[in-house]
Amino acid sequence: MNRLTNKQIILGVTGGIAAYKSAELVRGLQKAGAKVRVVMTSSACEFITPLTLQALSGNPVHIDLLDTKAEAAMGHIELARWADLVLIAPASASFISRLSRGSGEDLLSTLCLATDSQIALAPAMNQAMWRDSATQTNLEMLTEKGVKILGPDEGEQACGDVGLGRMLDVDQLLIEVREFFQSHELNGRHVMITAGPTREAIDPVRYISNESSGKMGFAMAEAAVDAGAKVTLVTGPVNLETPEHVERIDVISTADMHRAVFKNLPNCDIFIGSAAVADYRPTQVADRKIKKGDEDHAMTIELIRNPDIIAEVAASASRPFTVGFAAETHNLIEYAQKKLKQKNLDLIIANDVADKQIGFNSNDNEVTLISRKDSTVLPKMSKAKLARLLIDQLAQHYLSSKQEADV
């Protein structure tokens, strides 16, 4: 089961005998579908060669903070932003101490200071070092800051001592990492998501469509699965792999999407409209390719309004919690708020599609999540990371709306 598909993990390796297990960990993470980049401290390089981890991860290993070549390829700030999770395994007592002091003496500790992502440590050290009050105080400080401590395990140690301090087994670490990406917030809920563009035929070989790639909707589907939901993804024509455990329904036109959505609406708890649905379709679809006449300098195609799928979902008798997206090139927040009310949505996620770095077809997005009461800006990040934050916020809104309804 590849439960880490598309997750971006930085594996930090520090100096300790357990560093040899990092090789197996890189393989295990990749086998589970994760993208892995390795950052080593200089003392880690005494225990395992960067070449081994480079060959296994398929990416250059980052070691020095002041390496201009490495910084030019992917600088430490970029690395810090790239990560969904920074996993430090093994984490030595010395590194734990540096991290608790917030020291940016080396690349790995600097990266930990710069990242907004979750940091997890798998301590590995001698049992006396583990029990030492300095280590325990450092770990308490890190736990308070939100760093997750994975292990350690108990047993025989490389130095011959027996006790707590061994790094968790690779299999156990993989379970913990998978667990990190599972929120369970939407356990037992059915989420339906629309994604991609719709295509409106003009004749057998031509159509009207838009630039949507489906990336945002597919990322939302993956994040909803990670949150424990049963997910139905109704998608227009896109070139993307189906996320694991997602029921995918392929459609072409708005009419197809409308049909698929209403067929699957019974028992749907949350509906998310991330598709860029064509607002209009040609009144007539020619059954043969339209030929241009010698004298024709212009041609007119009459369009008719398509049904508004999300507005109809929000107006349906068994109305699910309904979340829209608003793609705008100007007056973003004003237009999004208008759509929230006009379509009677619970939430709307506004994105600026005039900016080529975000929105349509890019890997990143920057959005404002708007409710009837307030709004939250989520800065530019990968669509995968953003989707996890959005699903988390959306689940909180959904669950509190349920609680209010139950009172």
Q: Which of 45, 112, 159, 268 is catalytic?
A: 159
Residues that bind ligand PMT (CB under 6 A): 194, 196, 212-217, 254, 273-277, 279, 306, 308-310, 324-327, 339, 351, 353, 359-361
Query: Between residues 97 and 344, which has the closer beta carbon with respect to ligand PMT?
Result: 344
Minimum distance, C-beta of residue 277 to ligand PMT, in the bound complex (Å): 4
**Is 221:274 a contact under the CB 8 Å cutoff?**
no
Give the DSSP letter of residue 155.
E
Minimum distance, C-beta of residue 121 to ligand PMT, in the bound complex (Å): 34
| Residue 54 dihedral angles phi and psi, to the nearest 5° | -65, -45
Minimum distance, C-beta of residue 96 to ligand PMT, in the bound complex (Å): 40
Q: What is the CA radius of gyration of the chain?
A: 25
Minimum distance, C-beta of residue 32 to ligand PMT, in the bound complex (Å): 25
Query: Between residues 27 and 380, which has the closer beta carbon with respect to ligand PMT?
Result: 380
Which residues lie below 8 Å from residue 58, measured CB to CB, with a gap of 6+? 30
Query: Between residues 117 and 368, which has the closer beta carbon with respect to ligand PMT?
Result: 368
Tokens 């798998």 -> residue:
122
**Is 231:221 a contact under the CB 8 Å cutoff?**
yes
Which residues lie below 8 Å from residue 327, measured CB to CB, with a gap of 6+? 276, 351, 353, 359, 360
Minimum distance, C-beta of residue 224 to ligand PMT, in the bound complex (Å): 15
- Over the range 40-76, which residues count as b (16 or more CB within 10 Å of their CB) and which as e? bbebbbebbebeebbebbeebbbbebeeeebbeeebb
The residue number with the shortest CB distance to ligand PMT is 273
Peptide bond into 379 cis (omega under 30): no
Instruction: Report residue 165 as tokens.
Output: 């301090």
Query: Between residues 30 and 393, which has the closer beta carbon with respect to ligand PMT?
Result: 393
268 is annotated as an active-site residue: no
Tokens 């929000």 -> residue:
314
Query: Between residues 106 and 308, which has the closer beta carbon with respect to ligand PMT?
Result: 308
Minimum distance, C-beta of residue 403 to ligand PMT, in the bound complex (Å): 25
- Which segments of 20-123 does DSSP mark as H helices, in order? 21-31, 50-57, 68-74, 76-82, 93-101, 107-114
Query: Between residues 151 and 196, which has the closer beta carbon with respect to ligand PMT?
Result: 196
Q: How far apart are CA 119 and CA 80, in angstroms?
A: 11
Query: Between residues 145 and 263, which has the closer beta carbon with respect to ligand PMT?
Result: 263
Minimum distance, C-beta of residue 386 to ligand PMT, in the bound complex (Å): 10
Query: Between residues 94 and 209, which has the closer beta carbon with respect to ligand PMT?
Result: 209
Q: How far apart are CA 86 and CA 66, in angstroms?
A: 20
Give the DSSP letter of residue 265.
-
Minimum distance, C-beta of residue 323 to ligand PMT, in the bound complex (Å): 8
With residues binned 3-state (H G I as helix, E B as strand, rest as coil), the percentages for the chain, rounded to 5, are 35, 25, 40
**Is 265:286 a contact under the CB 8 Å cutoff?**
no
Active site residues: 159
